[in-house]
Structure 1
Amino acid sequence: MNRFDIWGEHMSVDPLPTLAAMRAEAPVVRLLNPHQGAPEWVVTRYADVAELLRDPRFSKAKDKLSDHARSRYFKVIELERLDKHMLYADPPDHTRLRSLMTKAFTPRRITELRAYIADAVGKLLAEAQQQDSVDLLDVLAFRLPLAVLTELIGVPAQDQERFREWTGILVAPGGFDALRRMATEFEEYLEQFLALRRRNPREDLTSALIAAEESGDRLSSTELMSMVFVLIAAGFETTGNLIGNGVWALLRHPDQLRRLRADPVLIDSAVEEVLRYCPPVKNTTGAFPLTDVEFRGVMIPAEEMVIGSLLSAHHDPEQFVDAQRFDITRTPNRHLGFGLGTHFCLGAALARLEATVAIDALLRSAPELTFAVEPDALRWKDGVFVHGLETLPVTWAP
């Protein structure tokens, strides 16, 4: 069944040749996921991935699947109460949940975080630059979104490392025992935290969501817990990878780095090109046809998982001119880094803000920034959805 090995070791070195072959030879292909032990359809062309994201015949709702399908693809039942969020919902439930979250997760709230983000970046860089070389993922890329999320959500700052540990388990492939432990610990933590916020509300996103729930809106306690869970889990790993991938791409392409240093106003378009060229999420979350569906000339059986490869779609020459080139002035740049349609990422504006502030401040404070190891020695994380480096050693001077 596995004509193409998208889970092999070679994918942690350079996944693009395999994805190019899939676009050319089997753009909609059925593979066996060795971690799940279940079939998985992979869509690789840009036009097809965009269509998959918009096609209402494919459901995100786990509750609509049969017991057999749920046990086949969702093996950790301890995650059930944490998964009552927007990523696993279809309209009208998705519409209700997103509307409620939008009321609390306002543009004003994000704008007000800019000064906090700038201050946090400054402090992290000042601490990091006391050492000759550092792992940039550890000292900046992942510390920043953790700090921002704790400020936004209102969880205690001293719990940041617990979130990092739990999220690392969540995105790792095949560790079902660790996932069960993580889910149990995370759920217990959130129950206690939400009880505390009900007693002592503050000016944070969690308190705003609780207020909406208690004023008669249609948000259950389980949905509230799931909302906070997905904000932490999705907002941390993806934003950290966006920052790390951005620095990696710029250091790998010195001409583009020089161009950005010469014209810092290009930082916004540079981040958009990072989202295309090396997106922090490499695959869409799974979608399921509830009946047999013909998609792009291929019959997909009911309740078999379908994912779209964002990394492949973003390197599709049918959509992007000179798709293999990293170009910080690329226009148009209709990448799918934050999804498309109903499930477009609610945190897109915050992720963009964190990445632009962090990368801009880094380049300004470290004019001789470079890799501390041979760049070909770097490896990409193994995992189904996230796309990021295992480490990113840098030095402030050659």
Structure 2
Amino acid sequence: MTDPMQDPGFLQDPYPTYAAMRSRCPVQPVSTGSGGHISYLVTGYAEARQALGDARLSKDTAAFFAGKESRRRLHPAVAHTMLATDPPQHTRLRKLVTKAFTTGAVAELRPFITQVTDELLDQWPVGEPFDLVARLAVPLPVIVICELLGVPEGDRPDVRRWSAELFAAGKPDVIDTASHSLADYMTGLITAKRLDPGGSLLDRLIAARDGDDHLSEEELVSLAVLLLVAGHETTTNFLGNAALALLQRPAELDHLRKNPDEVPAALDELLRFDSPVSTATFRFTTEAVTLGDTDIPAGVPVLVALGAANRDPERFPSPDLLDVDRDAAAHLSFGHGIHRCVGAPLAKAEAEISLRAVLARFPGIRLATPPDRLDWRRTRLVRGLASLPVLT
């Protein structure tokens, strides 16, 4: 089958396409890329969960592409992040950053997240359309992760632009250029922090590089870039998707407005309903693997469609229905297994605080454009709105 991304209506609403594919077979070969390369696309929940936790599916992109010709010129710090490693290297790198995103560590950030949210909402215009993505979904997570890493305020617009360009599907030159811009910037920031150390997460990673953890210089730059990008891209899409889902369903929106303490529990359902990560990062089989009833040969890429898995009726009855009372904690939007998103607690804290604030301060918020005219980002990896016009 051809790549579902080629369907003109896929970006607007991928779920009918995913449902049709799943009904035929939850794991099937698809032709991807201009060269017609074959990958296996996973759309079933059970099969996706198995794939995400199966050690025979490697994330070591360097090993997969070794010896293969490529016209790409991604910076190594972007091409070979922690997300593109297997244990034991992955275990070592993940251990260095996990402490920064524990529930306790994120709890300490909540006052800052609340302050930033309030300052952003104070600037929302009244009585005229504005873009919720540009006024909240983008700046909030960017400010928080940049503050955590110690990125100067004046540099943040460039950082955000380069990060967005990394997901420019169909524009390899743009992606490659952005990868070098980000890596070069983080290299320079690391140099500056060595001369003038502070207390940021990046400073702590530098200390690990210069201390006993033997973090290589390339690993240090790569971790910094990954944290910067992953620390806000997913949350930006999560906030936009969640806002749209609720604005299209006034009853659910009103329920959460009247019961704000239920917002934290509703986040899992919002994540399940429209995952901010459409397809998990690259994996390939190191040996023949059977997923469901499908045999996959060794050395073949496997694309795990998290958004499709979250809409599998075998796991979530009436999956196309948004039900904020549903127990959706088993969703796969943050992944599963050893590669589960380390920043999930931070993303959920930002979403909870900002959604509660919007519901409390703007009870009349509504869409300012028909849903079928919304502009979605053209990318396979993430699912998010380019803009979300609203009125308060």
Scaled to the shorter chain, the TM-score interval is over 0.9
Matched, 1:83 2:83: no
Partner of 1:318: 314
Paired residues for 1:226-237 under 5 Å: 226-237=222-233
| Aligned position for 1:220 | 216
2:6 match: 7
Does 2:51 match 1:55?
A: no
Shift of 1:274: 0.9
Q: Which has the higher mean CA deviation after the structures are superposed, 271-280 or 6-15?
A: 6-15
Does the 8 Å contact 1:84/1:222 carry over to 2? no
Q: Per the alignment, do residues 348 and 191 of structure 1 end up closer, same or farther by CA in structure 2, a change over 3 Å counting?
A: same
- Mapped partners of 2:216, 2:100: distance in 1: 16
- Alpha-carbon deviation of 1:38? 2.5
**Superposition pairs of residues 1-398 of structure 1, within 5 angstroms:** 1-2=1-2, 5-34=4-33, 37-68=36-67, 71=69, 76-129=72-125, 132-396=128-392
Amino acid in structure 1 at the alignment position of 2:232: F
User: What is the CA–CA distance in structure 2 between the aligned matches of 1:299 and 1:356, rounded to whole Å?
Assistant: 41
Structure 1 letter corresponding to 2:11: S
Structure 2 runs not aligned, ≥5 long? none
Give distance in 2, aligned partners of 1:107 and 1:157. Answer: 26
- Using the TM superposition, give the Cα deviation of residue 141 of structure 1 relative to its aligned residue in structure 2, in angstroms: 0.5
**1:136–1:393 CA contact under 8 A, matched in 2:** yes
- State the 1:106 CA deviation: 4.6
Identity %, equivalent residues = 36
Q: Deviations over 1:204-224 (max 9, x none)?
A: 100111112212213111111
Q: The residue matched to 1:6 in structure 2 has which SS? A: helix
Shift of 1:107: 4.0
CA contact 1:44–1:310 (8 Å) conserved in 2: yes
Shift of 1:131: 6.4
Is the CA contact 1:65–1:290 (under 8 Å) kept in the aligned structure 2?
no
1 CA distance for matches of 2:311 and 2:65?
A: 35
Secondary structure in structure 1 of the residue aligned to 2:213? coil
Name the SS of the counterpart of 2:9 in structure 1: helix
Deviation for aligned residue 1:165:
1.1
Distance 1:332 1:82 in 2: 32
Q: What SS does the corresponding residue of 2:6 show, helix, strand or coil? A: coil
Structure 1 residues without counterparts, runs of 5 or longer: none
**Alpha-carbon contact 2:141-2:236 (below 8 Å) kept:** yes
Query: In structure 1, what is the Cα distance between the partners aligned to 2:275 and 2:259?
Result: 23
2-structure distance, mates of 1:94, 1:36: 31
Alignment deviations for residues 235-279 of structure 1 (CA, whole Å, 9 cap, x no partner): 221100111111101111111011101111111122111110001
How does the TM-score come out when normalised to structure 2? 0.95
| Distance in 1 between residues matched to 2:313 and 2:203, nearest whole Å | 46
3-state secondary structure, aligned to 2:39: strand
User: Does structure 1 conserve the Cα–Cα contact (< 8 Å) formed by 2:279 and 2:380?
Assistant: yes
RMSD after superposition: 1.7
2-side partners of 1:300 and 1:336: how far apart? 22
Q: 1 CA distance for matches of 2:15 and 2:317?
A: 16
- 1-structure distance, mates of 2:36, 2:106: 41
The 1:104–1:135 alpha-carbon spacing in structure 2 relative to 1, beyond 3 Å, is closer
Aligned-partner Cα distance in 1 for 2:250–2:383: 22
Answer yes or no: is the 8 Å Cα contact 1:239–1:351 preserved in 2. Answer: yes
Amino acid at match of 1:291: E
Bigger shift: 381-390 or 48-57? 381-390
Q: Secondary structure at the match of 1:128?
A: coil
Aligned-partner SS, 1:385: coil
CA contact (8 A) 1:82 1:222 kept: no
Matched AA of 2:56: R
- Shift in Å, 1:86: 1.9
Q: CA deviation at 1:37?
A: 4.6
- TM-superposed CA distance for 1:188, in Å, is 1.4
Higher mean Cα deviation, 31-40 or 312-321?
31-40
Contact 2:100 2:106 in 1 (8 A): no
- 1:259-306 CA-to-partner distances (Å, cap 9, x unmatched) read 101111111122111110001101111111123333333332332211
Hey, what's the Cα distance between the residues in 2 that align with 1:184 and 1:209? 21
The letter of the residue matching 2:128 is D
Once the two structures are superposed, what CA deviation does each residue of 1:139-195 show, in whole Å capped at 9, x if it has no partner? 110010111011100011111111221112111112111122212222211111001
Counterpart of 2:16, as a letter, is: P
What's the offset of the Cα at 1:359? 0.8
Q: How many Å separate the matches in 2 of 1:106 and 1:13?
A: 35
Deviates more, 1:244-253 or 1:125-134: 125-134
